[in-house]
Structure 1
Amino acid sequence: MPKTGSISHVSLSVSDYEASKKYYTLLLVDILGYKQVADHPYYCMWSLSSGESICISPGNKTPHHKQNPGLHHLAVHVGTKEEIDTAYQKILKFHEENKSLTGCSILDAPALYPQYGEGYYAVFFTDPDNIKLELAYIPNGH
């Protein structure tokens, strides 16, 4: 039984559904260990065994900007600094191999961010729609 108040799922609208499925499969399956649980013409979903899920669905072509009302960025926990470094290399390789996905970029390479907490280590990047994503190692879990 999920804990009251825990996140069930996050759903993102994307402008290029097929490109985003490819991108989120790399991120969620290959890097973070999610399992793809749905793949329909109108949405795709990946879940962890604990139940948390991320979905994408086809949207319009309006560019995303983190300062508009709505999602600023999506941050996901990672267990170690080394996992972030490995993920960073995979993301770089994906970006290099998929240059046609113009929204994809590294915003900030893996580094310590003491302003967010002691030992906070993260990488910041964007998906094909320029949605800001973060992988974060936070030693105390907050």
Structure 2
Amino acid sequence: MPKTGTFSHISLSVSDYEAGKKYYNFLFVDILGYKQVADHPYYCMWALSSGECFCISPGNKTPHHKQNPGLHHLAMNVETKEEIDAAYQKILKFHEDNKTLTGCSILDAPALYPQYGEGYYAVFFTDPDNIKLELAYTPNYH
């Protein structure tokens, strides 16, 4: 498969580095099957065996808002609708068990979103910096 045009990595700055590491380790390791490959004072990285990486690094305390220039939201694929339903339950439990991580919330429970394509099924939620995240099953995009 050609690599030209594919993503190498995505990197986010987070306002609370320890909270960010905890949240993204849960999301990428426990939900999406990434492996944590770096944990330094200045960045943390998770990767898939296919090479895609996600990084976070310490940032300032400026609140994120999806309407500001920059990232609106980050969507990650899953293979089945059932994976989204199972992830939703894990996310609910993680949020309940980690109430000190402010900003974390479910925006929209798992549902079909036909406005995004036939069979499009997703859940929307936020990280501790209120960055909108999405897990999506997109059967007709392959």
Which of the five TM-score ranges fits, normalised by the shorter chain?
Answer: over 0.9
Correspondence list, 1:77-116, <5 A: 77-116=77-116
Distance 1:141 1:109 in 2: 22
- Which runs of no fewer than 5 residues in structure 1 stay unpaired? none
What TM-score do the two structures reach when normalised by structure 1?
0.97
1:6 aligns with 2:6: yes
How far does residue 137 in structure 1 lie from its aligned partner after superposition?
0.2
Secondary structure (helix, strand or coil) at the match of 2:83 reads helix
Distance 2:133 2:66 in 1: 11
Can you list the C-alpha shifts for 1:33-85, whole angstroms capped at 9, x where unaligned?
A: 00001000000000000100100000000000000000000000001000000
Distance 2:17 2:122 in 1: 27
Distance 1:125 1:141 in 2: 22
Which amino acid in 2 is paired with 1:66? Answer: K
Which amino acid in 2 is paired with 1:52? Answer: E
- Which runs of no fewer than 5 residues in structure 2 stay unpaired? none
- The aligned residue for residue 62 of structure 2 is 62
1:74 aligns with 2:67: no
Distance 1:137 1:22 in 2: 25
RMSD over equivalenced CA pairs, Å: 1.1
Distance 2:55 2:141 in 1: 24
What TM-score do the two structures reach when normalised by structure 2?
0.97
Count, aligned residues: 142
Distance 1:139 1:73 in 2: 20
Which amino acid in 2 is paired with 1:42? Answer: Y
Can you list the C-alpha shifts for 1:5-38, whole angstroms capped at 9, x where unaligned?
A: 1000000000010111010011000000000010
Aligned-pair identity (%): 87
1:49 aligns with 2:49: yes
